[in-house]
Amino acid sequence: MCGIIGYVGKKKPIPVLIEGLKQLEYRGYDSAGIAVVLNEEVRIRRVKGKIALLEKSLEDSPLDGLYGLGHTRWATHGRPSEENAHPHRDCTGTIVVVHNGIIENYLDIKESLKKKGHQFKTETDSEVIAHLVEEYFEGTLENAVLKAVKELEGAYAVAVISTKDPQKIVAAKIGPPAVVGLGEEEFLVSSDINPLLKYTQNIVFLEDRDIAVITPAGVQFLDFGGRKLQKKIDHITWNPMMIEKRGYKHFMLKEIFEQPQVVRDTLQGRLSLDSANVCLSEIGIPDEILSDTGRVVIIACGTSYHAGLVGKYFIEAMAGVPVDLEFASEYRYRDFILDEKALVVVISQSGETADTLAALRAVKEKGPQTLAVCNVVSSSIAREAAGVLYTHAGPEIGVAATKTFIAQLTAMALLGLHLAQVKGTAGNKERLRLIEELLRIPHRMEHILHDVQKIEKLAARFVSFNHFLYLGRWVSYPAALEGALKLKEISYIHAEGYPGGEMKHGPIALIDDKMPTMVIIPKDRVYDKMLSNISEIKTRIGYIVAVAFDNDETIASRVDEVLPVPPVDPLFSPFVTILPLQLFAYYIAAIRGADVDQPRNLAKSVTVE
Ligand code: G6P
C-alpha cells in the first residue's frame, strides 16, 4: 500500500516529511525513507523498520535540504530492506522517486533499460520509474514524467524530483490516491489528506491520469497528454486536532471512545422527529429513482463488508427490499447480473480500496444506480459513484476499524429508513419509533464506555488462549464476525466468527476447555435458539463469555461470564454489542504488548489488488 509525501515551501522539509510519514504509517510500515535536495545534491536516508527508526537516524546524523520526498513502505516486490526502501534513484543519482502501487510490466521495462546500460540496485518494481524518467529527461521534469508514465502498466501514485529541474515535485497517478495541499507559499503532495491538514485545508484530489507540477510558486495540473487542467479545490473541514491521541494510549482506544459522538455526527441534520422523515437529498440520487429500487447489492471488503451485512438486515427489515452482499474482490470477477432496478451500494471507509473501486467501475459499465458510503470526502469511490452518503467519523488512524464501522452502521440505518420512506414500506409511526431508537443509541453506548474495567480484567484472564469462537445469529452474526476480526487483526489470536445455527455443522468439533466461545445474545427473535447453542457448548465443557442485555438472569446463570450492554431495539443491537467485543480485543492485544495501532502485515487502506 505504501504512503508517499512531498513538500516544497518555506519550511525545512525534514520535520514536515517525518511528521507526514507518521500520519501515513498506517499504510505500511516495513521500511521508510526520505530524500531532500540541497546545493544540487540529493541526500537520501532510508531504514528498514518504522518511521521512528528513520527519525532516530536523522536525529543522530541530521540531513539538510530545501525540499523533498518521503515514503513509508508495505512491501510487494522485494523484501523489506534498506536497499529496497524508497526513495529510489536513477543511475546518475539526480532523479529520485517514491511510489505507491505496483508496476505490472516492470520486468519488461527493466530488461529493455538494462540493454540500454541502466544499472539497477534493488529488487523493486518502483526503481524502473526513476530509470525511465532518466531515459526521457530532456528539458523539464514534467516532460520526462509525461513520457515515462506512458510506458507504465499497473497502478501507481508516484512523486519525482530531480536536481536537473530543482525546486519541483512532479506527481502522477493511476489507481492509488494522491492529494495535493495548497498552502501559503508551501505545497504538498500526499497519499491522503491527514498530513496536509496542519498546513492547509485546501486540497486537490488528483484523478487518474492527472499530473501535478508542484513548485514554490504554485501547482500546475496537467493530463497525461500534457494539456493544462483546471482542478476543483476542496475545502476539508477535518482539523489537525482530530489526528492526535489526546491522552489515550492508542488511537484505537480513542476511536472506540469516540463512537457515541460518531453516531450523533452521522445522524446530525439527517433526521426529523416532526415529520418522522430521513432527509438524504445530499446523496444526489433523486427519491423517484430510489423508490423504484427492486434490489440492493452491497459490495465491500473487510470491516466494511461486516457493516454491509448489518446493512442487509436493516434494509430488508425496514424497506422490504431484497439485499445481496458481496465481497468486492469476488464480485469484480463474477459474471454478475444487474437489472435497471438494482441499487448498488459500495461501502468503503477510505474510498480507495482497489477491489471495491474496481467492482464499482465494473458495475457502472452495466448501468445501474450506484451509491457510495464513504468516510473520506472526495475519495475515488466517493467521486466515481453516482451518489455518496458520507459517514461522519472523522479521520481514523488505528488500522483496525472501529468508529468507522459504527459510522457505517449508522449510515446503513439511515439508508434503510430512507428507502422505507420513499418506497412507502414503513408508515410514519414505525419510522418515528425507529428514529427515536436510533437517537437513543449514543447514550446507550456511553453507558458501556463509562465502565470498561470489567472488560479489561476479563481480557487479562483470557490473554493466553490461542483460539476463540464467536457466535451470533441474525444481526448478531455480523457482530460475531467483526468481533472475531478485531481479535485476529490486533492480537494475532485465531478467532472464528460463525452464525449460531451453523455451529453444529462443524465448529462444535473444536469446542473444549481450550477454546472459549464469545456468544452474542441480545434478547431478540433468535434468543432461544442461541440458548440452545449455549447448552451445547456447556455440555462439551467449553468456556462461555456472553454479550447480553443488562440484567438477563437467564444468561447469567448459564454462562461463565457476561459482558452486559443496555437493551436497545434488537434490530439495532450491533451498535451496542460490538463495543465490548472491540474493547475485549483491544485489551487482549494491549496486554500482550502487540502494536495495536499498526498490526503486523496489515494496512489501513489496501490500494493494490
Ligand atoms: C483494510 C483495512 C480494514 C478495512 C478494509 C476495507 O483491510 O485494514 O480495516 O475494513 O481494508 O477498507 P475500506 O477503506 O474499503 O473500508
pLDDT band at residue 468, thresholds of 50, 70 and 90?
A: very high
pLDDT at residue 79, rounded to an integer: 82
pLDDT at 587 > cutoff 80: yes
Nearest alpha-carbon partner for 86 in 134, 38, 123: 123
Separation CA 580–CA 582 (nearest Å): 6
Percent of the chain with pLDDT over 90: 86
Q: pLDDT of 370-386, one tens digit each?
A: 999 999 988 899 999 99
Tell which phi-psi region holds residue 209, choosing left (phi > 0), alpha (psi between -120 and 50) or beta.
Answer: left
pLDDT at residue 88, rounded to an integer: 96
Residue with the smallest CA separation from ligand 1 atom 5 is 302
Active-site residues, by number, are 2, 604
Domain definitions of the chain by residue range = 3-242, 245-449, 453-591
In one-letter notation, the amino acid at residue 350 is S
Q: pLDDT of 107-121, one tens digit each?
A: 999 999 999 999 999
pLDDT at 609 > cutoff 80: no
Residues 411-420, mean pLDDT to the nearest whole number: 98
Q: pLDDT of 254-313, one tens digit each?
A: 999 999 999 999 999 999 888 899 999 999 999 999 999 999 999 999 999 999 999 999
Contacts (Cβ under 8 Å, ≥6 apart) of 384: 357, 360, 361, 364, 370, 372
Contacts (Cβ under 8 Å, ≥6 apart) of 129: 88, 97, 99, 103, 148, 152, 156, 158, 160
Residues 200-213, mean pLDDT to the nearest whole number: 96
Q: pLDDT of 120-178, one tens digit each?
A: 999 899 999 999 999 999 999 999 999 999 999 998 999 999 999 999 999 999 989 99
Residues 486-490, mean pLDDT to the nearest whole number: 97
Separation CA 25–CA 205 (nearest Å): 20
Quote the mean pLDDT of the chain: 95
Q: pLDDT of 417-448, one tens digit each?
A: 999 999 999 989 999 999 999 999 999 999 99
Q: If one looks up domain 453-591 in CATH, what number appears? A: 3.40.50.10490
pLDDT at residue 249, rounded to an integer: 94
**Which position has the grid cell 502501487?**
101
For ligand 1, is residue 301 a contact (CB within 6 Å)? Answer: yes
Residues 471-484, mean pLDDT to the nearest whole number: 98
Contact indicator for 94, 162 with CB cutoff of 8 Å:
yes
Fold of 3-242: Glutamine Phosphoribosylpyrophosphate, subunit 1, domain 1 (3.60.20)
Residue with the smallest CA separation from ligand 1 atom 15 is 348
Query: From ligand 1's centre to the CA of 604, what distance in Å?
Result: 6
Domains 245-449 and 453-591 share a fold: yes
Nearest alpha-carbon partner for 368 in 445, 426, 299: 299
pLDDT at residue 30, rounded to an integer: 85
Separation CA 516–CA 162 (nearest Å): 58
Separation CA 136–CA 141 (nearest Å): 9
Fold of 245-449: Rossmann fold (3.40.50)
* Eight-class DSSP state of 111: H
Query: From ligand 1's centre to the CA of 535, what distance in Å?
Result: 36
Query: From ligand 1's centre to the CA of 504, what distance in Å?
Result: 31
498 three-state secondary structure: strand
For ligand 1, is residue 100 a contact (CB within 6 Å)? Answer: no
Residue with the smallest CA separation from ligand 1 atom 4 is 302
Ligand 1 atom nearest to CA at 381: 15
Nearest alpha-carbon partner for 349 in 387, 302, 281, 284: 302
Residues 509-530, mean pLDDT to the nearest whole number: 95
Q: pLDDT of 61-94, one tens digit each?
A: 999 999 999 999 887 787 888 888 999 999 999 9
Strand locations in 384-542 (E): 387-390, 467-472, 494-499, 517-521
Helix (H) or strand (E) holding 585: helix 574-591
pLDDT at 243 > cutoff 80: no
More confident residue, 478 or 26: 478
pLDDT at 197 > cutoff 80: yes
pLDDT at 241 > cutoff 90: no
pLDDT at residue 507, rounded to an integer: 87
The grid cell for 512 is 473444549
In this structure, the strands spanning 67-73 and 3-9 are: antiparallel
pLDDT at 9 > cutoff 90: yes
φ/ψ (deg, to 5) at 279: -110, 105
For ligand 1, is residue 606 a contact (CB within 6 Å)? Answer: yes
Q: pLDDT of 141-152, one tens digit each?
A: 999 999 999 999
For ligand 1, is residue 408 a contact (CB within 6 Å)? Answer: no
Report the range of poorest mean pLDDT among 267-281, 471-485, 523-537.
267-281
Q: Which residues pair with 170 in a beta bridge?
A: 160, 213
